[in-house]
């Protein structure tokens, strides 16, 4: 997971979890269903707005979102 020191604030970005555009470290999360020719659309999320959760039976890591 790649971490960026600050979000790209173009296009009036707001973190989908906390709904702010605070300048804090972010990561890019691929949006399911947008895969096209090896490229996937991504959204920026603050690192500290997400808590990784491993769904061991499905072998998937998801993130619970801190409200
Ligand atoms: Zn946030």
**Ligand 1 mean position, distance from CA 20 (Å):** 6
Cα–ligand 1 centroid distance for 41 (angstroms):
19
Q: How many CA atoms lie within 13 A of 55 on its CB side?
A: 7
**pLDDT at residue 23 in the model:** 98
pLDDT surpassing 90 at residue 63? no
Give pTM, 2 decimals: 0.82
The closest of 13, 43, 40 to 27, measured between CA atoms, is: 43
Cα 21 to middle of ligand 1, angstroms: 8
Ligand 1 centroid to residue 46 C-alpha, Å:
4
Cα angle 30-55-62, degrees, rounded to a multiple of 5: 25
CA distances from 9 to 20, 31, 33, 45 (A): 11, 19, 24, 12
40 Cα: distance to centroid of ligand 1 (angstroms):
21
pLDDT number for residue 21:
97
Residues 2-52 pLDDT 10s: 999 999 999 999 999 999 999 999 999 999 999 999 999 999 999 999 998
């Amino acid at each position: 997971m790649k971490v960026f020191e600050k979000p790209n604030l173009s296009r009036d970005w707001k973190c989908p979890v906390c709904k702010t555009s605070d300048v804090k470290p972010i990561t890019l999360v691929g949006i399911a269903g947008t895969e096209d020719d090896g490229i996937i659309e991504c959204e920026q999320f603050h690192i500290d707005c997400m808590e990784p959760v491993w769904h061991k039976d499905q072998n998937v890591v998801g993130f619970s979102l801190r409200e």
